[in-house]
Amino acid sequence: EVQLVESGGGLVQAGGSLKLSCKVRGFTYDDYTIGWFRQAPGKEREGVSSISRSDGSTLYEDSVKGRFTTSSDKRKNTVYLQMNSLKPEDTAVYYCAFLHTIHAHTTLDEYEYDYWGQGTQVTVSS
């Protein structure tokens, strides 16, 4: 069974940076997609970014374009979310999610994903 282990959350001042990690366990092939999602208190969960391990293609939600970058390290079977120029409105619990897909595919639709990490808190102070 696929397990996702997240790390890297924390408290940072506005304008600062954080890097989240999502370690994939239990699946050693490249035919999958990792999505990053976040949920702020009182709000619905929203998609932030997505990366296909098949071809490296990426997709970003408009509010994070130019600030967030997702990447993967095949050797470590880990996907990262580098977050720069953080804003207080980025404060949320961040989750990574796994989608097994034969063809390269990126999506911010949470209902397409099969497995989820435990979440990590990101707090941006003003």
- Number of Cβ within 10 Å of residue 89's Cβ equals 11
Give the integer Cα–Cα distance in Å for 64 and 17.
13
Each of the 126 residues of the chain gets a pLDDT tens digit; together they read 999 999 999 999 999 999 999 999 999 888 999 999 999 999 999 999 999 999 999 999 999 999 999 999 999 999 999 999 999 999 999 999 999 998 999 999 999 999 999 999 999 999
Tokens 């069974």 belong to residue: 1
pLDDT of residue 28: 85
First to last CA, the chain: 40
- Number of Cβ within 10 Å of residue 57's Cβ equals 13
Burial of 108 (0-12, 13-18, 19+ CB in 10 A): middle
Per the structure block, which two tokens stand in for 95?
């989750």
pLDDT of residue 30: 85
pLDDT of residue 22: 98
* The dihedral sign for the CA sequence 107, 64, 7, 70: positive
